[in-house]
Amino acid sequence: MIYFGQITGEIDSNTLLEVTLKNGESVYAAMTIPTGTSLSLPSKDWIDANKDKFLALVSFEGDSYNEAFIVGFYPIKGAKSEDYNTFEKLIEVLYKLIDQLSKAKTNTQIGPQPFLPDTLQVFMQLKQDIDKYKKDILPLSK
């Protein structure tokens, strides 16, 4: 069974996050990587910035209720994926970097020159690829 837990923001041992359950009990729950190994654990800074925008999805190991762990975060209010999702932010930074590189010039003996056409073509293809990948992401705004 999965329970909703209010995130307090207190962290113990870098991976245990304190949450308060519906019955008022506070527990430290181990943060798990929600989807395989492609995502990272949230940092203290991320938790401080987003603790009021999410509830923790808390489960327990077996029937003992001794070992709690967090299987994810449920957005409740003010959560905009472009603000909290580090993956979306990194894609945007990568897009800006490629855009800036495509405008860059190199100094030569005859003055500033753009990159060679084949390099500019690679940049254009990378931007198209990023646009395609961005279409695979559903932005969330609560």
Using CA atoms, how far apart are residues 68 and 1, in angstroms rounded to an integer? 11
Structure tokens at 125: 């293809």
Model confidence pLDDT, tens digit, residues 79-117: 888 888 888 889 999 999 999 999 999 999 999 999 999
The pLDDT tens digits for 7-49 are 999 998 878 999 999 999 999 999 887 654 456 788 889 899 9
Cα-based distances in Å from 71 to 31, 34, 65, 87, 131:
7, 6, 15, 18, 30
Query: Residue 106's closest CA among 124, 119, 93?
Result: 119
**CA distances in angstroms from 1 to 30, 31, 137, listed in the order given:** 16, 17, 28
> Closest Cα to residue 59, out of 81, 79, 31?
31
The pLDDT value recorded for residue 35 is 57
Tell me yes or no: is domain 3-78 CATH 3.50.50.60: no
